[in-house]
Amino acid sequence: MLVYLNENIHPEAITELKKHAKITNDHMNTEIDAIIVRTEPVTREMMEHSKNLKVIGKHGIGYDNIDIDAAHDLGISVVYTPTANSQSVAELIITLLLNVTRNIIPNHRRLVQGETQTNAPNDLIGNELLGKKMGFIGLGNVALLTGDILRKGFSVDLLGYDPYVTTEKAASHGITKTESLQEMLPEVDFINVSVPLTESTKNIISMRELKMCKKSAILINTSRGGTVNERDLYVALSNNILKAAASDVFNIEPPRKDHPLLSLDNFIATPHIGASTDEAMYRMGKTVVQEVISVLNGKKASYQVI
């Protein structure tokens, strides 16, 4: 069996893969049986070129870089790793939230630049998480885990909007489900976006939604670029419509250094590092290899998109 792999995955996953298949980084090879990708696009043309292609393995949760319609048309299975990086992404959400609320980066920057003249500068006083409200847009594995951490560790009240999750499931994680963003956004101190990028979630947060938020609200996005309208977010942060925001994802990744959002003091950016921990890389790598090999051996996959 021949597997196309052109991106870094955990060394132990590669070792496991080599027990079952040969690896190539030549996507033009027509004998490819399987493809494993992280962020590399998999197009219809790429699928049609590989006449033996049976399965595409996505190393991660979001599979918007794969042409799912083409895979369906061509009878190619698509598998992914929906739970393998949840802990790492949840921890990043908490990290970004604490960073923004306590003004960690502005305080650090002033010290490095020699601009701090006193301990605990008055204009950089932060806020506690205790007793605040978090609003989740999307109630998948990452959001539910993040909610558990915030509720148990910081006594944060939780609200959530997700038309695909029942009120009962949300309640089992201590989350009060709302029927619309209009109902939720004015009530919360923090907003977290954890949705896949689809036609229905593109620009799910734009100026209309940003104006619904408290002026003191903080937005965190670790899902996908395109779910939050970047131009509208820049305007909102520049005009005190929203207090602050942090994003791990952008429309174009990594963002250029002259990206308008990067010029703002009330915005924090990271280069799509949500799943970038050794533990998550190990789980994702091992899982995607196991799923791909299962399909190639004619077995049912545990995490199958199609």
Catalytic residues: 224, 253, 272
Strands (E), 166-210: 175-177, 190-193
Distance, in Å, from the CA atom of 26 to the CA atom of 18, rounded to the nearest integer, reads 16
Distance, in Å, from the CA atom of 265 to the CA atom of 263, rounded to the nearest integer, reads 7
Residue 25 contacts by C-beta under 8 Å, 6 or more apart in sequence?
4, 5, 6
Residue 52 contacts by C-beta under 8 Å, 6 or more apart in sequence?
2, 30, 31, 32, 33
Would you give the end-to-end CA distance of the chain in angstroms? 21
Cβ contact 190:181 at 8 Å? no
Task: State how far the alpha carbon of 129 is from the alpha carbons of 52, 154, 237, in Å.
Answer: 53, 6, 21
